[in-house]
Structure 1
Amino acid sequence: MAISSSSINTGTISAAFLEEVSSAFRESSINRARMNAITKSGIEGVATNRDALVQMQFTFSNEIETGPITDQKQSGRCWLFAGLNTLRTEIARTNHVKPFELSQTYLMFWDKFEKANYFLERVIDTKDEATDSRIVQWLLQAPLQDGGQWDMFVNLVEKYGVVPQWVMPETYHSGRSRQMNELLTLKLRQAAAHLRDKHNTGAAQDDLQSYKQSVLADFYRMLCYFLGEPPKSFDFEYRDIDGIFHRDTELTPHAFVQNYAKVNLTDYVSVINAPTADKPFGRTYTVQYLGNVEGGRPVLYLNVDIIAFKQLALAQLLEGEPVWFGCDVGQMRSRDDGILDTDLYDYENAIDASLQMTKAQRLDYGESLMTHAMVLTGVNLADGAPNRWKVENSWGSKLGKDGFFVMSDRWFDEFMYQIVVHRKHLPENLLTALEQEPKKLNPWDPMGSLA
């Protein structure tokens, strides 16, 4: 609506302005109809585009066989579920077995333990910074959240291996992690305060490390209470798809992944599409203080344009291998229907407001960032080009179609930020780009978010 000059002032909201906008609203029967519909049915119910619901079919020209859908429950372990879901596909294929679930609780335990050490090391690193400095406050904000990144997943598998789910099953707090995280975070913040106090009163570096070790001993014990103690070895008994029985005794978690997965996770590369001015394409990036295993593999991203980004995902899928990915799952989605589509809701017409932003603007201005990790397990090609993608989620079988989601190709363009692909799919120019020294991003950069 146009505002009369008499209502414009130096910054305060005047009574004249309020009367003008109120009168304009009341005079429109369309405004009243929108208000009645939205207050009664909610914005999603009013804005839902029925045509989009019909068009987003759960049929795909190319699909990969997967195991039973998994359920992260009330936890933020999607990145672990997605990583293990890609790994189990390789285990099933290599050993001629039906895909079975791997223990997310096992890796959750070691991720929490390693993150505790990683956080305390950062506290020691920043011991001379003011407590209210931006970096210290960022470290203290969420030292132990459930989320993670692909390279953090690789660190855990390389250091601790993997076990089947029945070897270390779910617990009450693995699937309901909030209260566990609150208590563990309290312990870490207490330890941070003591470390900084010890430093300020002249404690030597060895004394700080000794105190840190005592905290980690307490932390291990607390994690065992919440998640159970991780196994050191186990017996692996199974029947293959031909009905032949196999027994492998006293396997360590390392031996299990080495003998049965037969995949080198370090051959896989995190490729991102972040079209912001500060991140030129064809460059590598890392993020300060983003990690879990001290001394482990750093988070590394290769930024490419959306065309190359999509071609890499497609190449891996068409070879029959799933694709781990990170996205902003809260955007333009229906949980119940399992649909991710930019045309799913016509919010602009429903509320008579322009809402358009570019992908770069959404990243720069806090409207979007990576929030969730899932797995691409199929694609529908029309005239050789993708128009929708099959997604294996980890929210249980009651959402979507038996737990699977369908993603439109336009949604892929706008809200997909990261894929993990084998190096063999990268053309020569991107392999060369991968070897350059990465630019270090601030911890609060949107690419520093955890899935």
Structure 2
Amino acid sequence: MAETALSLENLEKFKKEFYSNDKNVLAQNVCSRVDPFDVSLSRKVLEETQHVFSNKIESEGKPMTNQKSSGRCWIFAALNVIRLPFMKHHQIEDFEFSQGYLFFWDKIERCNFFLNNIVKTARRAEPVDGRLVSFLLSSDLVSDGGQWDMIVNVIKKYGLMPKKNFPESFSCESSMRMNAILKSKLREYAKILRELVCKGGSDADVNALIKEQMSNIYRIVAICMGIPSEKFTWNYYDKNKVYHTVGPITPVEFYEEHVKAHFNVDEKVCLVTDPRPTNEYGKAYTVDCLGNVVGGRNCIYNNQPVDLLLDLTSKSISDGEAVWFGCEVSKRFASKQGIQDCKVHDFNLVFGVDIQTTLSKADRLYYGESSMTHAMVFTAVNKDENGVVNKLRVENSWGEDRGEKGYLIMTSEWFKEFTFEVVVDKKYVPEDVLKVFQQDPIVLPAWDPMGTLAQ
């Protein structure tokens, strides 16, 4: 088949057609000076959007959190959910768990997980320039992002501590430079490990080398972020200005003795929705080489229809429990106004073509147009006169500058198009759905879009 080249005649025809339409000229005049997405905003949708909900959790967390220039949304969202029952029990008005604490240990564990994956793929005889190893060596090899099972791994191994006991550092809030250092060393170490495996190095030799390499990795992370204390003491005032003190205590003891009774990560399950015909509903999936803790739990995807995810989200919130979720945040999103609505942009009016929703959700996954990119928290739903959910309230982790002091509003239509994961308590999940977790998961390739990490 002959290739289709663009001739000068083609280009001249395109140009004449463009300038023959006055709307194109108007759109050009505006979009050449203003953000094209802002130009496409629907005034009608802005007028009709109200942050009022029929079912809302009893109390939302304070203060509004801000992950700043880092990809830690999955950590922030998890801790924002966990703090709600914790704050209620301790009768405190403002509280944050230390996001930096979990970030520190995830970064250490993630680097070790990567080095072990390099060994595993070398023993599989995967070529260094093959798709799998090339993917592992890509720019996201120590991504800040993560998924629910990964947060569970870190909490169960290292526990939790208040933010006051391990505050933010520069590299917590702006992780790019630290990550650049780590990526450079990890690629260097990957070469050394692959050479050792190819030479027939024993397990003992490989383990010794990884421990030596990880000593340097630990030093880099510790220099950039500080090292969390093995024990801490937490002092606080409750709502009645009564003084309390907890500790000295280890972070694991703190989680087990003071947090777990109010939010037990082992009682929460992550359900996903992947509508691709190749991935059946009612099946368990995992992704090759995805994780953060060697010996920790795998990322397991219990694939269910999106309507079930929305229903369980509604039941949880109506019962007073907030919901962690993962979505593709950037599509049909009016960022400043904090509106996630499939009708919030009228691209067809401005450009003469539509975008972002022209492909089905399944086809967007197939063609690289969609994946989970961000994690946040649902704190309210609104039901119409027939009891059908039509919008949801979202707690983000980008500070107070967007939406209603940091809270976003999402339509149920948007939920169905761009939400991929929710985490709810087991008590809300039907027994047949829970049984899916007992299956041997089908392994998806490392580059599958369902393995994308929320940032």
Q: TM-score range by the shorter chain?
A: over 0.9
Contact 1:94 1:260 in 2 (8 A): no
How far the C-alpha of 1:10 sits from its partner, in A, is 5.3
Alignment partner, residue 102 of structure 1: 97
Specify the code of the residue in structure 2 equivalent to 1:390. R
CA distance in 1, matches of 2:296, 2:408: 33
CA distance in 1, matches of 2:76, 2:43: 32
SS of equivalent residue, structure 1 residue 173 = helix
Alignment partner, residue 156 of structure 2: 158
Specify the code of the residue in structure 1 equivalent to 2:205. D
Equivalent of 2:131 in 130, 134, 147: 134
Specify the code of the residue in structure 1 equivalent to 2:34. S
Equivalent of 1:440 in 434, 443, 450: 443
Alignment partner, residue 60 of structure 1: 53
Is 1:359 aligned with 2:361?
A: yes
SS of equivalent residue, structure 1 residue 420 = strand
How far the C-alpha of 1:95 sits from its partner, in A, is 2.7
Alignment partner, residue 3 of structure 1: none
Return 5+ residue gaps in structure 1 as ranges: 1-8
Alignment partner, residue 215 of structure 1: 213
CA distance in 1, matches of 2:38, 2:179: 35
**1:146–1:10 Cα change, 3 Å:** closer
Contact 1:283 1:302 in 2 (8 A): yes
1:249-272, Cα deviation, whole Å (9 max, x unpaired): 211101111121113212211111
SS of equivalent residue, structure 2 residue 32 = helix
Alignment partner, residue 269 of structure 1: 269
Q: How does 1:368-379 map to 2 (within 5 A)?
A: 368-379=370-381
SS of equivalent residue, structure 2 residue 443 = strand
Contact 2:382 2:390 in 1 (8 A): yes
1:268-313, Cα deviation, whole Å (9 max, x unpaired): 1111111111111111111111100101011111111122111011
Specify the code of the residue in structure 2 equivalent to 1:150. W
Contact 2:55 2:382 in 1 (8 A): yes
- The more displaced of 62-71 and 196-205 is 196-205
RMSD (Å) for aligned C-alpha atoms:
1.5
Specify the code of the residue in structure 2 equivalent to 1:300. I
CA distance in 1, matches of 2:3, 2:307: 46
How far the C-alpha of 1:99 sits from its partner, in A, is 4.5
**1:282–1:200 Cα change, 3 Å:** closer
SS of equivalent residue, structure 2 residue 170 = coil
How far the C-alpha of 1:334 sits from its partner, in A, is 1.9
How far the C-alpha of 1:221 sits from its partner, in A, is 1.4
**Dislocated runs of 4+, deviation >6 Å:** none
Alignment partner, residue 228 of structure 1: 226
SS of equivalent residue, structure 1 residue 248 = strand
How far the C-alpha of 1:392 sits from its partner, in A, is 0.6
Q: How many residues align?
A: 443
Alignment partner, residue 283 of structure 1: 283
Equivalent of 2:428 in 425, 428, 450: 425
- The more displaced of 12-21 and 419-428 is 12-21
CA distance in 1, matches of 2:238, 2:30: 56
Alignment partner, residue 36 of structure 1: 29
Q: How does 1:189-338 map to 2 (within 5 A)?
A: 189-261=187-259, 262=261, 263-338=263-338
Equivalent of 1:27 in 16, 20, 45: 20
Return 5+ residue gaps in structure 2 as ranges: none
CA distance in 2, matches of 1:167, 1:85: 17
CA distance in 2, matches of 1:33, 1:71: 38
**1:27–1:212 Cα change, 3 Å:** same
How far the C-alpha of 1:35 sits from its partner, in A, is 2.0
Equivalent of 1:125 in 120, 126, 136: 120
Is 1:11 aligned with 2:8?
A: no
1:146-201, Cα deviation, whole Å (9 max, x unpaired): 00010000000000000000100001111010000000111111111111222334
The normalised TM-score by structure 1 is 0.95
SS of equivalent residue, structure 1 residue 310 = helix
